């Protein structure tokens, strides 16, 4: 049986994140040890069920922001990041992530641009991105920027896009200099230093607990679809 989010009897809306999930992630950040996680398997499994339900719900509503996602068969338990971090992916010394990205993609999150919801107490946001691209995907991303900088400018200058995503393009990892051998000038230079990029709109924790947050997410994804279409290779 597929997991579903809690549904409000009054409004029919969805509660996106359970309060217990926020509590678990907060405690995991403070107790980032295998022994602690082993002692809290019940809370961990409840959080995983919550993330699975969120993945299913985002897919169920995808026809309201991207038909290609709506028609893609998904594996809900493989549609969000895992707690354990491989050594090469770790930021600092933490063994486990205390945050989760839930994806709504028509492709592979490491190969294709798509939609995501970032769940982290005090730092939730949503948008479209390819934040951790494979080597080949990063090359495709940069080639797209080289081939059509004007098209990207059109997306970023769109009034609805710039209002919804005032930061413009963001990244989680950036190089200090341009990749070797790459010669570019102009306003796109910072984007070539980004190892993956995307857009994001912040969401207060209180919104994530509200049964109408799905409507906000649909609108975020609808506006972000311009960026997904630009990077549709």
Contact assessment for residue 188 and residue 145, using Cβ atoms and an 8 Å cutoff: yes
pLDDT interval class at 53 (50, 70, 90): very high
Contact assessment for residue 90 and residue 42, using Cβ atoms and an 8 Å cutoff: no
The rounded distance, in Å, linking the Cα atoms of 95 and 86 is 8
The three-point CA angle 206-210-213 to 5° equals 105
Q: What pLDDT digit, counting tens, does each position of 107-144 carry? A: 899 999 999 999 999 999 999 999 999 999 999 999 99
Q: Is residue 179 part of a domain?
A: yes
Contact assessment for residue 5 and residue 14, using Cβ atoms and an 8 Å cutoff: yes
Q: Which two tokens stand for residue 83?
A: 């707690």
Q: What is the count of structural domains for the chain?
A: 1
Q: Is residue 210 part of a domain?
A: yes
Query: Is residue 13's pLDDT more than 60?
Result: no
Residue with the two structure tokens 């930021």:
91
Query: Is residue 6's pLDDT more than 80?
Result: no
Q: Is residue 10 part of a domain?
A: no
Say which range, 3-7, 73-77, 83-87, 157-161, has the weakest mean pLDDT: 3-7
Q: In which domain, by residue range, is 93 found?
A: 19-230
Q: What pLDDT digit, counting tens, does each position of 86-102 carry? A: 555 555 567 888 999 99
Q: Is residue 5 part of a domain?
A: no
Q: Is residue 1 part of a domain?
A: no
Q: Is residue 211 part of a domain?
A: yes
Q: Is residue 4 part of a domain?
A: no
Contact assessment for residue 57 and residue 104, using Cβ atoms and an 8 Å cutoff: no
Q: Is residue 67 part of a domain?
A: yes
């Amino acid at each position: 049986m597929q997991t579903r989010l809690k549904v409000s009897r009054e409004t029919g809306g969805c509660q996106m994140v359970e309060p217990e999930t926020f509590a678990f992630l907060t405690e995991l950040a403070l107790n980032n040890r295998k022994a602690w996680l082993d002692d809290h398997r019940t809370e961990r499994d409840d959080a995983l069920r919550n993330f699975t339900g969120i993945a299913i719900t985002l897919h169920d509503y995808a026809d309201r922001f991207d038909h290609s996602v709506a028609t893609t068969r998904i594996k809900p338990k493989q549609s969000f990041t895992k707690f354990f971090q491989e050594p090469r992916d770790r930021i600092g010394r933490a063994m486990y992530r205390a945050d989760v990205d839930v994806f709504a993609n028509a492709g592979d999150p490491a190969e294709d641009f798509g939609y995501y919801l970032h769940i982290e107490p005090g730092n939730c946001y949503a948008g479209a991105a390819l934040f951790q691209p494979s080597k080949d995907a990063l090359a495709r991303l940069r080639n797209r920027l080289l081939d059509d900088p004007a098209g990207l400018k059109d997306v970023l200058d769109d009034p609805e896009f710039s209002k919804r995503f005032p930061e413009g393009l963001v990244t989680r990892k950036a190089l200090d200099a341009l990749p070797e051998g790459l010669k570019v000038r102009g306003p796109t230079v910072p984007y070539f230093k980004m190892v993956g990029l995307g857009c994001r709109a912040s969401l207060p924790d209180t919104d994530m607990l509200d049964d109408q947050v799905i409507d906000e997410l649909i609108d975020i994804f609808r506006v972000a679809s311009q960026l997904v279409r630009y990077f549709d290779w």
